């Protein structure tokens, strides 16, 4: 049985007080309403992590994730945050390779390989993001492009380490645009990714990996996406900032 996971990526939104309120609301709603066996990961900005950690401490469904980490473990990297710092405030997951970081901060497949290694070595679970632009999809190159992102950043890992990852397929054209991939488009890519993983690591590893969908996922479309056989949950941006919407997505399995 693969883990069902819904992760909320708050991005660069909310002051600390607002983040504390949002996390508290989500925590209460999840405790009262979520009966399903689902892992809910909150990924607030760095400065919220310590406070959100205290709010979710002792809950059984909520986990803490960071939106990024540095590829080095410590040292003279002004303004950066290390995996050990994240672990020291209770972080368990870390988003790596989000398309916004690839696009705005020049993160390449090769560079992301180092971040994945650093996160795994610290015992964090990477949520590794992949996904194509509209231009690539229109050229019909999306399957090759996305599978290549996995090959170049992840296929140096041992099967054991690969099995610790979570993958998030996030078509760039669907992120923050209100335009969701159809359930058929999402399922088709997830199936390709799982087959690609099976080709390298075997069916056992591929069947055990949770592959999340991300891109304008909301309460009105989450259920049909999560019902697809290769979609194991979602990475949620905009809708994770509203407690009611986010928890309704969590309840969509
Ligand atoms: C994201 O940025 O990871 C994301 C999926 O954003 P949104 O849900 O807003 O499209």
As a whole number of angstroms, the distance between CA 65 and CA 117 comes to: 17
Confidence band of 180 (pLDDT split at 50, 70, 90):
confident
Question: At the fourth CATH level, which superfamily is domain 4-250?
Answer: Aldolase class I (3.20.20.70)
The residues facing 96 across adjacent strands are 128
Q: What is the pLDDT of residues 91-137, one digit of tens each?
A: 999 999 999 999 999 999 999 999 999 999 999 999 999 999 999 99
What proportion of the chain, given as a percentage, has pLDDT over 90? 96
Confidence band of 183 (pLDDT split at 50, 70, 90):
very high
DSSP calls for 44-105: --GGGHHHHHHHHTT-SSEEEEES---SSSSSS-TT---HHHHHHTT--EEEE--HHHHHHS
Check residue 177 and give its pLDDT: 86
Confidence band of 165 (pLDDT split at 50, 70, 90):
very high
Check residue 153 and give its pLDDT: 98
CA angle in degrees (0–180, nearest 5) for 247-249-253: 115
Q: What is the pLDDT of residues 24-34, one digit of tens each?
A: 999 999 999 98
Contact 237 CB / ligand 1 (< 6 Å): yes
Could you give the C-alpha distances from 190 to 53, 132, 183, 211, 234, in angstroms and in order? 31, 13, 10, 7, 12
Confidence band of 1 (pLDDT split at 50, 70, 90):
confident
Contact 170 CB / ligand 1 (< 6 Å): yes
How much is the mean pLDDT over the chain? 97
Residue that has been written with the tokens 């479309």 in this structure: 221
Q: Show the tokens assigned to 121.
A: 């070595």
- Based on the residue annotation, tell me whether 188 is a catalytic residue of this protein: no
Check residue 36 and give its pLDDT: 82
As a whole number of angstroms, the distance between CA 73 and CA 75 comes to: 7
Contact 22 CB / ligand 1 (< 6 Å): no
Check residue 176 and give its pLDDT: 84
Phi/psi at 125 (5° precision): -95, 110
Check residue 178 and give its pLDDT: 81
Q: Which atom of ligand 1 is nearest to the CA of 218?
A: 8
All structural domains of the chain with their residue ranges: 4-250
Q: What is the pLDDT of residues 17-55, one digit of tens each?
A: 999 999 999 999 999 998 889 999 999 999 999 999 999
Q: Exactly one of 98, 142, 190, 196 is catalytic; which is it?
A: 98
| Best of 43, 99, 170, 221 for a ligand 1 pocket test (most atoms within 8 Å of beta carbon) | 170
Q: Show the tokens assigned to 244.
A: 């009611």
| Best of 94, 236, 241, 250 for a ligand 1 pocket test (most atoms within 8 Å of beta carbon) | 236
């Amino acid at each position: 049985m693969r883990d069902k996971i819904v992760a909320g990526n708050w991005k660069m939104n909310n002051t600390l007080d607002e983040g504390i309120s949002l996390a508290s609301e989500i925590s209460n709603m999840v405790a009262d309403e979520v009966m399903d066996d689902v892992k809910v990961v909150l990924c607030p900005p760095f400065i919220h992590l310590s406070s959100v950690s205290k709010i979710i401490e002792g809950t059984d469904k909520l986990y803490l994730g960071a939106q990024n980490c540095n590829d080095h473990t410590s040292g003279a990297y002004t303004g950066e945050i290390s995996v050990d710092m994240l672990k020291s405030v209770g972080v368990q997951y870390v988003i790596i390779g989000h398309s916004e970081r690839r696009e705005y901060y020049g993160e390449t497949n090769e560079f992301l390989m180092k971040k994945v290694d650093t996160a795994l070595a610290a015992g964090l679970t990477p949520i590794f993001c992949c996904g194509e632009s509209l231009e690539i999809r229109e050229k019909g190159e999306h399957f090759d492009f996305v599978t290549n992102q996995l090959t170049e950043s992840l296929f140096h890992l041992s099967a054991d380490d690969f099995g610790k990852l979570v993958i998030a397929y996030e078509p760039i054209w669907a992120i923050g645009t209100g335009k969701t991939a159809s359930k058929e488009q999402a399922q088709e890519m997830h199936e390709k990714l799982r087959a690609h993983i099976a080709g390298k690591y075997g069916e056992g590893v591929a069947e055990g990996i949770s592959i999340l969908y991300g891109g304008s996922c909301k309460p009105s479309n989450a259920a049909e996406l999560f019902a697809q056989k290769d979609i194991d949950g979602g990475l949620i941006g905009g809708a994770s900032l509203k407690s009611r919407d986010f928890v309704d997505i969590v309840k969509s399995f």
